Amino acid sequence: MAIKFAGEFEAQRKPEEVYDFLTDPKKFAPLLPDFQGMTQQDDTHFTVKVNVGVSYIKGTAEVKMQLAEGERPTRAVYKGQGTVAGGNVSVTAGFDLASSGQGTKVSWKGEAQVFGRLASVAGGLLEPLGRKNVQKLIDGLQAALK
């Protein structure tokens, strides 16, 4: 089951500052909904833990993330693989940055693929829950980048 997300927002900071924020997991990872913790292996690899609860399946998701593309100050793309109670998840998230007046236009898109029992049991609940959590993250990023 694949869930796709996309949107854009304006940040009131310069593209370099926005890029630096988006490529520092210590800064943005705590903005993830139901964030539990993060460990950083090196400049481009980190593992994030978040609580997950869909229907009667509850637990902690552990997702190994990699900054797959980093072009300062215009583009950052993450790829990740993880385990969730009852399944596996594969995620991609990309941010394209462009100067816009006094700040930066941030265009973002991502995709989450959920495999296993979680996808079959939660089915139609995953997409609305995923959209809600992505919007929480984007709201947090917008607030942090003001």
State the pLDDT at residue 55: 65
In whole angstroms, give the CA distance from residue 4 to residue 103.
27
State the pLDDT at residue 141: 95
In whole angstroms, give the CA distance from residue 23 to residue 16.
11
Domains and CATH numbers, the chain: 2-144 (3.30.530.20)
Closest to 25 in 3D by CA, of 49, 52, 48, 1: 48
Q: Provide the residue count of the chain.
A: 146
Residue 80 confidence class, pLDDT cut points 50, 70, 90? very high
Residue 116 confidence class, pLDDT cut points 50, 70, 90? confident
Span 33-61, pLDDT tens digits? 899 999 999 999 999 999 887 666 678 88
CA atoms within 13 Å, Cβ hemisphere of 103? 12
What number of other Cβ atoms are within 10 A of residue 13's Cβ? Answer: 17
